[in-house]
Amino acid sequence: MIRAIRGTRDLLPPETALWNFVEAACRDVFRDYNFQEIRTPIFEATELFARGVGEETDIVSKEMYTFEDRGRAESDRGTSLTLRPENTAGVVRAYIEHKMWERPGVTKLFYIGPQFRRERPQKGRYRQFYQIGAEVIGPTTAGSESPARDAEVLEMLATLLDRVGIQNWTLELNSVGCANDRPIFLQALREALKPVVGQMCYDCQRRAETNPLRVLDCKHPEDQPIIEKLPRIADYLDEGCKTHFADVRAILDAVGVPYVINDRLVRGLDYYTRTAFEFTHGALGAQNAILGGGRYDGLSEAIGGPKAPGIGFAIGEDRLVLSLQQQQETDAMVKKPDAYIAPMGAGMNKEAARLARELRHHDLTIELGDETFRLKKSLETAGKLGARFAIIVGENEAASEQFALKDLTKGEQVTVPRNQLAARIQSAR
Ligand code: HAM
């Protein structure tokens, strides 16, 4: 028996209807906010993530699916490739590669697709998972650094979650500073870590040297009391970052998007500057972040591009769907057949197929039976599938172009001419 790989899963109907609903709702919202779709490759050069996301992050140091290309051409051989663990680095790479700064204004892109991280699988955490994300990137002259961009993205997310039907979300907000104040904060962090780092986990001991900011993102419960006492970025922000953060909050207040400040929020990726955020939802338990994001003003330069400040987010679609399922009955989202066509007797499959083709042209959902089925079996099948009507197609019906239409919820049966069938079924919707 061959099974799906641990941490991956099949998404089956009826649940896939919910996924489609979520994606359609997000696409609607993206359109309202003038975002356009981008699709980047599932695998990229490993170096992109090492430089973009950061060597010392859990994602890059432990969780990537990395392999060597074994193509026959010399140029392919030995190239290290990685299944994308996230999509921001890929989008910014594409922005640079296609000189998208030449387009007017800021570039606003969204994406929907699978990402891969070798994490310990549990509820809401998979090794192949799906993200719905968006990025706003552009030259400074187009206003890409403006706090208005941050606030717009956050307000869009509030709208999106409301529209999808997520209740009681919390927006956690922080500013993680910038290239100016970061060295001063890191110095303070190193100093504060010196006397205590010996009591921390092995990763923290290493990171205290290589990338102390990552210590703040440690998930080990035993380390938390120590982390709690370490310096906070909020106390080290320079004037520019403080004003920027205050401006983001002022717009959120003005448009009525509620948030809480979480000055311990640092996020698990190295590229963040200034605004960082997560939306959480109680129904998710330990993996409660339904989405995360923030500003990344230096990412483009870190991967060899021009200065191109940006801000974005990624929703964990698996978690979004999970929250919806825990909140409400989602069965109603599954489209049931409008009608089940029951061919009665030898040769009637052909007539049934013709009728099904006609009705489907009228945008009706039609399920087809088989001429070997007896009437009883056809009606039972139609009932189990939740079809609203059954249409009986026997020799007489086909010859007279008059069909028996049985309403399976009311139990009534009427005879309807062929050219009125579609309208009749549609009117019952
Ligand atoms: P992230 O916080 O690593 O950020 O991931 C965003 C969301 O993806 C998380 O909040 C979570 O809902 C979902 N997620 C992450 N890992 C898993 C997993 N193993 N299983 C299920 N869901 C998961 C990013 O990926 C950034 N690229 C977001 C961003 C875009 N920042 C700026 N632009």
Give 105 Cα–ligand 1 centroid separation in angstroms: 27
Spatial neighbors of 394 by CB under 8 A, at least 6 apart, are 343, 344, 345, 348
pLDDT of residue 352: 97
Residue 277 near ligand 1, beta carbon < 6 Å:
no
Token pair, residue 238, equals 């320079």
Say yes or no: do domains 15-181+237-330 and 335-427 share a fold: no
Contact 421, 405 (CB under 8 A): yes
Q: Domain 15-181+237-330: which topology?
A: BirA Bifunctional Protein; domain 2 (3.30.930)
Domain 335-427 superfamily per CATH: Anticodon-binding domain (3.40.50.800)
Token pair, residue 189, equals 């962090």
What residue ranges do the domains of the chain occupy?
A: 15-181+237-330, 335-427
- Report the C-alpha gap between 392 and 344 in whole angstroms: 7
The Cα-based distances of 317 to 6, 104, 320, 368 in angstroms read 19, 31, 5, 33
Contact 147, 72 (CB under 8 A): no
Residue 172 near ligand 1, beta carbon < 6 Å:
no
Contact 382, 342 (CB under 8 A): yes
Spatial neighbors of 364 by CB under 8 A, at least 6 apart, are 338, 339, 422, 425, 426
359-368: burial string, b at 16+ Cβ within 10 Å, e else: beeeebebbb
The pairing of beta strand 36-37 with beta strand 66-68: unpaired
pLDDT of residue 333: 77
This prediction has a pTM of 0.92
Contact 101, 308 (CB under 8 A): yes
Omega into 14 within 30° of 0, i.e. cis? yes
pLDDT of residue 285: 77
Token pair, residue 171, equals 């927006």
Token pair, residue 78, equals 């030995």
Spatial neighbors of 90 by CB under 8 A, at least 6 apart, are 40, 41, 44, 48, 84
Please tell me the total number of residues recorded for the chain in this structure: 429
Instruction: Output phi, psi for 392, to 5 deg.
Output: -95, 125
Residue 63 near ligand 1, beta carbon < 6 Å:
no
pLDDT of residue 74: 74
- Report the C-alpha gap between 282 and 259 in whole angstroms: 15
- Residue nearest ligand 1's atom 22 by CA: 316
Per-residue pLDDT of the chain (429 residues; tens, 9 = 90+): 999 999 999 999 999 999 999 999 999 999 999 999 999 999 999 999 999 999 989 999 999 999 998 877 777 777 899 999 999 999 999 999 999 999 999 999 999 999 999 999 999 999 999 999 999 999 999 999 999 999 999 999 999 999 999 989 999 999 999 999 999 999 999 999 999 999 999 999 999 988 899 899 888 899 999 999 999 999 999 999 999 999 999 999 999 999 999 988 999 999 999 999 999 998 777 778 999 999 999 999 999 999 999 999 999 999 999 999 988 777 777 889 999 999 999 999 999 999 999 999 999 999 999 999 999 999 999 999 999 999 999 999 999 999 999 999 999 999 999 999 999 999 998
Residue 319 near ligand 1, beta carbon < 6 Å:
yes
Tell which atom from ligand 1 comes closest to the C-alpha of 315.
Answer: 7
Give 422 Cα–ligand 1 centroid separation in angstroms: 46
pLDDT of residue 412: 95
Tell which atom from ligand 1 comes closest to the C-alpha of 320.
Answer: 12
- Report the C-alpha gap between 114 and 132 in whole angstroms: 9
pLDDT of residue 328: 75
Residues facing 416 on adjacent strands: 403
Residue 312 near ligand 1, beta carbon < 6 Å:
yes
Question: Could you count the other beta carbons within 10 Å of the beta carbon of residue 321?
Answer: 21
Judged by DSSP in three states, 351 sits in: helix
